[in-house]
Structure 1
Amino acid sequence: MKKAGIYLLCLFLLQSKTTFSQEIQLPKPTQITGSIGITNNGLSIIPSFSLEKPATIVNMSVSKGRFSFDPELAFSLEAKPWYSLFWFRYNLSPNQSKFKMNVGTHLGLNFVTMPIPTTNDSIQIQKTDRYFVLEMFPRYQLSKHLTMGIYFLRSHGLDAGTLRTLNFVTLYADISQILLSKKVTLGITPQLYYLNIDGNDGYYLTSEISLSLQDFPIIFKSTMNKTFESKVEGSRPFLWNIKLVYPLKGVK
Structure 2
Amino acid sequence: MKKAGIYLICLFLTPSLHTFSQELQHQKTTQINGSVGITNNGISIVPSFSLERPATVFNMSISKGRFSFDPEMAFSLDAKPWYSLFWFRYKLSPNQSKFNMNVGTHLGLNYVSMPIPSTKDSLQIQKTDRYFVLELFPRYQVSKHLNMGIYFLRSNGINAGTLHTLHFVTLFTDISQIKLSKKATLGITPQLYYLNIDGHDGYYLTTEISLAWQNFPIIFKSTMNKTFESQVEGSKPFLWNIKLVYPLKGGKISP
TM-score by length of 2: 0.88
Residue 250 of structure 1 is matched in structure 2 by: 251
Partner of 1:67: 67
Percent identity, aligned pairs only, is: 82
Pairwise mapping of residues 1-252 of structure 1 onto structure 2 (< 5 A)? 27-248=27-248, 249-252=250-253
CA distance in 1, matches of 2:245, 2:60: 13
Q: Tell me the amino acid that sits aligned with residue 88 of structure 2.
A: F
Q: Offset of 1:30 from its aligned partner?
A: 0.2
> What runs of 5+ residues in structure 2 fail to find an aligned partner?
1-24
Any unmatched runs of 5+ in structure 1?
Answer: 1-24
Task: Report the TM-score, using the length of structure 1 for normalisation.
Answer: 0.89
Secondary structure of the residue aligned to 2:143 is: coil
Shift in alpha-carbon separation, 1:119–1:109, aligned structure 2, 3 A: closer
Q: Which runs of 4+ in 1 moved over 6 A?
A: none
CA shift at 1:116, angstroms? 1.7
What residue identity is the alignment partner of 1:142? V
How many residue pairs get aligned? The number is 228
Secondary structure in 1 matching 2:53: coil
SS at match of 1:245: strand
Deviation at 1:251, TM superposition (A): 1.9
State how far apart, in whole Å, the 1-side matches of 2:220 and 2:106 are. 28
Q: Spell out, residue by residue over 1:157-206, the C-alpha distance to the aligned partner (whole angstroms, 9 max, x if none).
A: 00111000000000000000000000100000000000000000000000
* Distance (whole Å) between structure 1 residues aligned to residue 223 and residue 235 of structure 2: 16
What SS is found at the alignment partner of 2:41?
Answer: coil
CA distance, structure 1, for counterparts of residue 79 and residue 120 of structure 2: 27
Residue 7 of structure 2 corresponds to which residue in structure 1? none
Amino acid at match of 2:86: F
